[in-house]
Amino acid sequence: MKILSKFFLLCAILTLVSCNKGGDDKIMVGYFGSMTGAEATFGVSTRDGVLLAIEEWNKAGGVLGKQIEIKAYDNQGKPEEARLSVEKLINADNVIAVLGEVASTRSLAAAPVAQQNKVPMISPSSTNPLVTQKGDYIFRVCFIDPFQGEVMAKFAFNSLKKKKAAILRDSKSDYSMGLATYFEKTFTALGGEIVGDEKYVSGDVDFKAQLTNLKSKGPEFIFVPGYYTEVGLIARQAKEQGISVPLLGGDGWDSPELVSIGGKSMEGNFFSNHYTTEDPRPEVQNFIKNYEARFGSRPNALAASGYDAARVLFEAIKRANSVEGPKLRDAIAATKEFQGVTGIITLNEQRDATKSAVVLEVKDGQFKYLETVNP
């Protein structure tokens, strides 16, 4: 008897939960990001891009006749928290899809949860190739690091005419380790030489030992594929040690904090990114205008990627005419020539986007557009 009543209770709960999936009148989308901690601007900028997309769609009637709602969790930059966030989003909040993460290490930690539950996950800007290899429910709307590494290697060798590189990478970051390796591969294939290769760990604040070693090798530039907090400090300490060669890096530099932390030491350094505010395409300029009106600041590539990831999802819901995991998965996978702010998004067999990258220079505290590199 007892067992039977427990069984009925369980049935009642399950019915309630399944009814709640997506809500009756709402579509619930999950978001997870680092909104506090050393990479706080990544999570906040991306979330704001996602919010803008949701508000625009809702104003235009939502999707499938329902308003879109977001449930967001902060992971403080911790991979384990990222995984737990996605567990909560799926099991407690019944989201129909998850948007996130920015940092590849955190996307890698969370992706298996989405995959096991057959809930699509779209990373706006994780570039390590392994992220989408976690399974067929895992997507991204950005390019991957074998390409990004090649972009900066070619820029250094062909545009800057530099032959001797040093590398300073973050051994705790899948993004940093991968990007350094891909950069090295192309740079040496072009005929360049890696004269020094040093490591640090995310959270470090003193880079003097590594910089002393690298300086003694006489590089013509230092490739630092890290995130903005450490990069800003590295730039300062490099200057303090009399290192005058430029620093080069990747998308992980993109933050308003880069220049606040690095100050004048960031001037004349270069990095690759997903978008530039100088892109004259109307969809880009409209996005900038609307974002500024809503949040009072200029959107960076994180915000633009969040905006694109959210809109790719909403378009897919519309095409699928469903929020069921497998149907939605297939519709996302079929994304073709989506007019994104970060470029035109077509998802390939690996569920990655093949898109161009831009190279930017830090000049007068701004990120100045230099060139576009096509895949």
- Chain residues binding ligand PHE by CB under 6 A are 42, 102-104, 125-128, 175, 251-252, 254, 301-302
Task: Tell me whether residue 128 or residue 186 sits nearer to ligand PHE (CB atom).
Answer: 128
Smallest separation (angstroms) from ligand PHE to the CB of 371:
18
Mark out the alpha helices in the chain (DSSP H runs).
2-20, 40-59, 79-91, 104-116, 145-154, 174-189, 208-216, 228-240, 257-262, 282-295, 301-320, 325-333
Task: Tell me whether residue 106 or residue 311 sits nearer to ligand PHE (CB atom).
Answer: 106
For the record, the structure tokens of 312 come out as 């790719």
Task: Tell me whether residue 125 or residue 335 sits nearer to ligand PHE (CB atom).
Answer: 125
What distance in Å separates the CA atoms of residue 36 and residue 53, rounded to the nearest whole number? 22
Task: Tell me whether residue 73 or residue 147 sits nearer to ligand PHE (CB atom).
Answer: 147
DSSP 263: G
Instruction: Give the torsion sign (CA, 147, 148, 153, 158).
Output: positive
Smallest separation (angstroms) from ligand PHE to the CB of 191:
27
For the record, the structure tokens of 374 come out as 């096509």
Give the full edge-to-edge strand order of the sheet including 357-363: 193-200, 164-170, 221-223, 247-249, 270-273, 357-363, 366-373
Task: Tell me whether residue 187 or residue 228 sits nearer to ligand PHE (CB atom).
Answer: 228
Smallest separation (angstroms) from ligand PHE to the CB of 249:
10
Q: Which residues pair with 197 in a beta bridge?
A: 167
Task: Tell me whether residue 229 or residue 265 sits nearer to ligand PHE (CB atom).
Answer: 229
What distance in Å separates the CA atoms of residue 266 and residue 257, rounded to the nearest whole number? 11
Smallest separation (angstroms) from ligand PHE to the CB of 141:
11
Residue showing the smallest CB distance to ligand PHE in the complex: 175
Task: Tell me whether residue 245 or residue 347 sits nearer to ligand PHE (CB atom).
Answer: 347
Between the CA atoms of 230, 231, 234 and 238, what dihedral angle is there, to the nearest 10 degrees?
Answer: 180
Task: Tell me whether residue 126 or residue 186 sits nearer to ligand PHE (CB atom).
Answer: 126
Q: Helix (H, G, I), strand (E, B), or coil: what is residue 206?
A: coil
Task: Tell me whether residue 50 or residue 317 sits nearer to ligand PHE (CB atom).
Answer: 50
CB 233 within 8 A of CB 226: no
Smallest separation (angstroms) from ligand PHE to the CB of 226:
10
Q: DSSP for 326-361?
A: HHHHHHHHT--SEEETTEEE-B-TTS-B---EEEEE
Q: Which residues pair with 353 in a beta bridge?
A: 347
Smallest separation (angstroms) from ligand PHE to the CB of 99:
14
Smallest separation (angstroms) from ligand PHE to the CB of 139:
14
Smallest separation (angstroms) from ligand PHE to the CB of 32:
14
Q: Helix (H, G, I), strand (E, B), or coil: what is residue 119?
A: coil
Task: Tell me whether residue 186 or residue 202 sits nearer to ligand PHE (CB atom).
Answer: 202
What distance in Å separates the CA atoms of residue 157 and residue 191, rounded to the nearest whole number? 9
Pairing of strands 338-340, 193-200: unpaired
What distance in Å separates the CA atoms of residue 249 and residue 229, rounded to the nearest whole number? 13
Smallest separation (angstroms) from ligand PHE to the CB of 142:
7
Smallest separation (angstroms) from ligand PHE to the CB of 205:
20
